[in-house]
Amino acid sequence: MARLLTDGAEMQVANPAAAVGWTSSQGTVSINTTSQASGSACYSASCTAQNSLTKSVAGAVSTNYFARFRINPTAYPATNPAIITQFFNGATLVGEIRLLTSGKLSLTLNGVTIVTTAAAIPLNTWTLVEMQVSYPASGAATLFLRVNGVDIGNGAGSATLFVTWRVGGHCSGASLPTAGAVLLDDIALNDSTGANQNTWCGDGHVVMLLPVSDSSRVGWTNGTDGTTSLWDAVNNTPPVGLALASETATSQIRDVAVNATDTYVANMGAYTASLGSGGGGLVGNETIVLTQAICNGGQGATTNETLAVQSISNPAGTEGTGTTGTTAAGTFPTAWTSVFAPINYSPSVTTSTQPTVQVRKGTASATATFYDFMGLLVEYTPAVGRPTVIPSQAALLAAYR
């Protein structure tokens, strides 16, 4: 598998689940669009309740797992530690990172502290945090902690294979902390299989390129049967898809043809175009780590329709498919689901050129197939010397880009 999940809150979906790639969410995870580390948004999770994102991942022996995220606390927990990330198996806390009342980070295995950072991580500043969980073929599991790329420490012990990975700001005690929130951005999870992204995720930033114009159209219309400017119905963050007969010209695109070949191709913003114009805001000499085409779709009846998405150019990629399920789409997010194409690792791209992404009507049925979002997920390594973004530097960021 290698890269298992990449998310920078760029779809701007609060409490994300199937519509973004997470399995579920606990409590409330909201969207912040003013203090992000990169891209257009980040997540905000309160430390005063059980608020986190969950990804189902079946841990396996002889495999290493590498989690990454950036954290920006607005306050430290006032009473009990806050769990920021956790590898979890039912009632068993396999391994987790906690934000302590002192502002330090601690790494625990089965609830026992392995290592604690020497100093507090700063408030209102983005800190890169990484964690590794290693399961040998036999013997004890080992956990590792890195902060801003520096090894902090590790420890080993008996550990059950985890079944989920959580990221958020939920508490770790019967008495809830009384402090504020943590901001989270540039989230990723790798495993040690495959030829790419099979080790530490590293200093990656996550952005989303959005549709800015039509490239080609076969059979597809907007929600009111218009045949031009379809891009404006699939670039909304968050998506605004609607139920059949409630569509608007900018809520979604649709196709009712009885074939599985109709396609719509959108021109995305260039990697170096500004965030406000559908681009990634890159300055031109960043390194593209990976790209992944994504769509969000549904259907107008109770049949099971196939969804399909593919990066067509800059870079070209393989098509990915998924299904709508058997519930008719309602107002987003009801019965809308995201489909991801296979990842393009270390792609060769021209950052000043617009990529193109295609969606396809995957089922030969008269049932309407909808798409209310298309995007190209991009992870990049920033250029040397590019400034670190913190909330007080929002104006500087706008000027820099």
Query: Which residues have C-beta within 8 Å of that of residue 183, sequence separation ≥ 6?
Result: 32, 35, 36, 42, 43, 44, 71, 72, 73, 74, 126
Higher pLDDT, 1 or 373: 373
The two three-digit tokens of residue 350, written as one number: 């021209």
- Three-state DSSP at 213 gives strand
User: Which domains, and CATH codes, for the chain?
Assistant: 3-202 (2.60.120.200), 207-381 (2.60.120.260)
Report d(CA 36, CA 208) in Å as an integer: 13
pTM beyond cutoff 0.75? yes
Share of the chain above pLDDT 90, in %: 74
Confidence at residue 401, expressed as pLDDT on a 0 to 100 scale? 30
Going from the C-alpha of 184 to that of each of 124, 157, 167, the distances in angstroms are 12, 29, 8
Q: Rounded mean pLDDT of the chain?
A: 90
Confidence at residue 98, expressed as pLDDT on a 0 to 100 scale? 93
Confidence at residue 143, expressed as pLDDT on a 0 to 100 scale? 94
The two three-digit tokens of residue 20, written as one number: 């973004």
Q: Contact 299/243 with Cβ under 8 angstroms? A: no
pLDDT level of residue 35 (50, 70, 90 thresholds): very high
Q: Which residue carries 């190209």 as its tokens?
A: 376
pLDDT level of residue 396 (50, 70, 90 thresholds): very low
pLDDT level of residue 221 (50, 70, 90 thresholds): very high
Q: What are the strands, taking DSSP E only, across 27-140?
A: 29-32, 42-46, 52-56, 63-73, 82-89, 92-99, 105-109, 112-116, 127-135
Dump pLDDT digits (tens) for 319-348. 999 999 999 999 999 999 999 999 999 999
Rounded to the nearest 5 degrees, what angle is found at the Cα of 204, between the Cα atoms of 201 and 208?
Answer: 120
Q: At residue 96, does pLDDT exceed 60?
A: yes
Backbone angles phi, psi at 93, to 5 degrees: -90, 95
Report d(CA 373, CA 266) in Å as an integer: 11
Report d(CA 389, CA 395) in Å as an integer: 10
